[in-house]
Amino acid sequence: MNRLISRSTSIFRSWGSQLTILAVVLLSLFPLFGHLDSQPLRLWDESRLAHNAAEMYNSESYLVVQFQGKPEHWSTKPPLMIWLQCLSYKVVGVNEMGVRLPSAFAGLMLIMCMVWFLIKMRLSPAWAIVAMILLLSIRGFNGEHGIRYGEYDGLLALFVLIQLTGFTFWLIHPSEPDAKFRWLFYLGMVGAVWTKGIAGLLLAPVYLFWMIRMLGWRELVKLIPEWCVISILLFGYYPIRELLDPGYLKAVWNNEISQRFTGNLENHREEWTYYFHEFHHQTSGSWIIMLLIITLGIYYSNSPLRRVLIFLSSAALILFVILNLASTKIYWYLLPIYPILVLTTVLVVSRGLQTVTSTKRKVVKWGVYVLIGAVSSVLYGRLIISTSHITAHVPGDHGFYEVTNFIRSQLGSKDTLHWTFIDTDYSGHNWWYIDRLNEQGHDMVYDIHLDSVEKGDILLLRQKEIRDSVKVMYHTQNVFNHTDYSLIKLYDLR
């Protein structure tokens, strides 16, 4: 009878866990995928990757990434993200959804990785719902340039968490002598490097320290053969690309190491306080509460849990410090840190509540459960509302993306367009939409200066100074006028 009861309880727990995991997936779907294609592609990384993936899709050049028909040396990362976007194009078409789906799926996989981590730590999967809501409520994770955008950092965050998960259950908190966790760690390393190059190795000093501490030098030497294999997987793309595209390694050095750490890459050189301010802003100040909880957890927890907490905290801290040491600072580089903080915080709170056994304290315990449930419900409600209100308008853009929305509104137009788009700044996001229009049979041209225009051309102009210059140089007619852009037809020179 006891065995039957035990078996029934085990089945109930299994079903309960599966239903909770299903709930995590379902609750994640709308915040991650809802209105994913409503807003236009963003300038710089997202639109540049969208160009790279479109050219790969059309040319089937899968090893040498291209931009405007030439080898890409501006973004020198290995092509994993671009491969995924190219595959996405094949499934859903060359559109905004195709650009962003890989990142959104990476976000879903990251949340499932958190679920698995918590289950391996003997916690209820229900805590994964709390972790998911907390993570998606962080502006720096789910906001501009975050997990819903077709950029590198969401996929990088997934592979960083895979690294940490594999390493934790291999060395820090081994529950069973199984090499699969070591190979999971290696998978995270390879995936991170193939996603964002050198940035995928930023936690290597942390791993080396803990391997020396937990294994010792003799055991480390035994791992050298498999490390050689992993090194080939990590760096194998670089010599192949150099053979196919001479000069690539020099571009990697300039883009990912030299200029990024000591120079002023793309005018992103910031003061040493920049990341502190951004971290506070992107987490809405919640990092202070999380840091306090984690500190208390490290102080009061038992030895095995304390080691896990110290490992995860040290990883987040070292990642923050290394990013801060680089002269090039951009706030979305912080994205991989947020899942680590949330996971560590949930781990401390859940384990802390598990230790409460006395009758008087159980009242407080259930009060805390109710409070966590209420806060989670409010945060999730805000997530649903904010996602529901996403439109084509980009908040706070000061009209910058109005011309982009105008261009994308012409997709599917039955009238053949013969326009020339002039913008003296880099305008990759607008160029991407113009390329799509041309694929539909239109005759659109884009340029960065006025030298090539002539009588009869219809110009689409964003910059006010260019609009004014054209009207000084030519007799013109306003075909369409908007506060942030104009469509102007050229007549004779003045």
In a domain, 393, yes or no: no
Tell which phi-psi region holds residue 422, choosing left (phi > 0), alpha (psi between -120 and 50) or beta: beta
Contact 63, 241 (CB under 8 A): yes
Predicted confidence at residue 263, as pLDDT, reads: 64
Q: Residue 399 and residue 319: Cα distance in Å, rounded? A: 35
In a domain, 13, yes or no: yes
345: tokens are: 């915080």
Does 310 lie in the same domain as 449? no
Closest CA to 334 of 124, 96, 143: 143
pLDDT tens track for 11-70: 335 676 788 888 999 999 999 999 999 999 998 899 999 999 999 999 988 999 999 999
Which region among 98-112, 214-228, 359-373 has the lowest average model confidence (pLDDT)? 359-373
In a domain, 454, yes or no: yes
Does 85 lie in the same domain as 44? yes
Pairing mode, strands 458-461 and 485-493: antiparallel
Does 465 lie in the same domain as 382? no
269: tokens are: 């050189």
In a domain, 36, yes or no: yes
Predicted confidence at residue 358, as pLDDT, reads: 60
Does 453 lie in the same domain as 361? no
The residue out of 388, 411, 439 marking a domain boundary is 388
Q: Which residue type occupies 247?
A: G
Rounded to 10°, the helix 180-196/152-167 angle is 160
Q: Which residue type occupies 196?
A: K
Q: pLDDT band at 329, cuts 50/70/90?
A: confident
Q: Residue 489 and residue 419: Cα distance in Å, rounded? A: 9
What number is the average pLDDT over the span 441-451? 89
**Cα three-residue angle 270-199-165, rounded to 5 degrees:** 125
Number of helical (H) and strand (E) elements in the chain, helices listed first: 22, 7
92 pLDDT above the threshold of 70: yes
Tell which phi-psi region holds residue 146, choosing left (phi > 0), alpha (psi between -120 and 50) or beta: beta
Does 223 lie in the same domain as 76? yes
Pairing mode, strands 445-447 and 419-422: parallel
Does 154 lie in the same domain as 52? yes
pLDDT tens track for 221-261: 988 999 999 999 999 999 999 999 999 999 999 888 877 76
Predicted confidence at residue 450, as pLDDT, reads: 86
Predicted confidence at residue 211, as pLDDT, reads: 92
Predicted confidence at residue 3, as pLDDT, reads: 46
The residue out of 365, 388, 411 marking a domain boundary is 388
Question: C-alpha distances in angstroms, 80 versus 87, 340, 448?
Answer: 11, 23, 31
Predicted confidence at residue 362, as pLDDT, reads: 74
The residue out of 388, 410, 444 marking a domain boundary is 388
Does 422 lie in the same domain as 377? no
Contact 385, 136 (CB under 8 A): no
Range of the domain at 479: 402-493
In a domain, 441, yes or no: yes
Does 356 lie in the same domain as 307? yes
419: tokens are: 């326009």
Does 441 lie in the same domain as 348? no
Contact 35, 110 (CB under 8 A): no
Predicted confidence at residue 179, as pLDDT, reads: 81
Does 476 lie in the same domain as 342? no
In a domain, 394, yes or no: no
Predicted confidence at residue 125, as pLDDT, reads: 79
Q: Which residue type occupies 443?
A: D
Positive or negative CA dihedral for 280, 286, 290, 291? positive
Tell which phi-psi region holds residue 68, choosing left (phi > 0), alpha (psi between -120 and 50) or beta: left
pLDDT tens track for 261-313: 666 666 666 778 888 999 999 998 888 999 999 999 998 888 788 999 999 99
Helix H or strand E segment including 14 = helix 2-33
Cα torsion through 361, 365, 366, 369, rounded to 10: 170
In a domain, 29, yes or no: yes
176 pLDDT above the threshold of 80: no
In a domain, 14, yes or no: yes
Does 380 lie in the same domain as 414? no
Does 166 lie in the same domain as 221? yes
Name the domain count of the chain: 2
Predicted confidence at residue 410, as pLDDT, reads: 94
Q: Residue 331 and residue 84: Cα distance in Å, rounded? A: 24
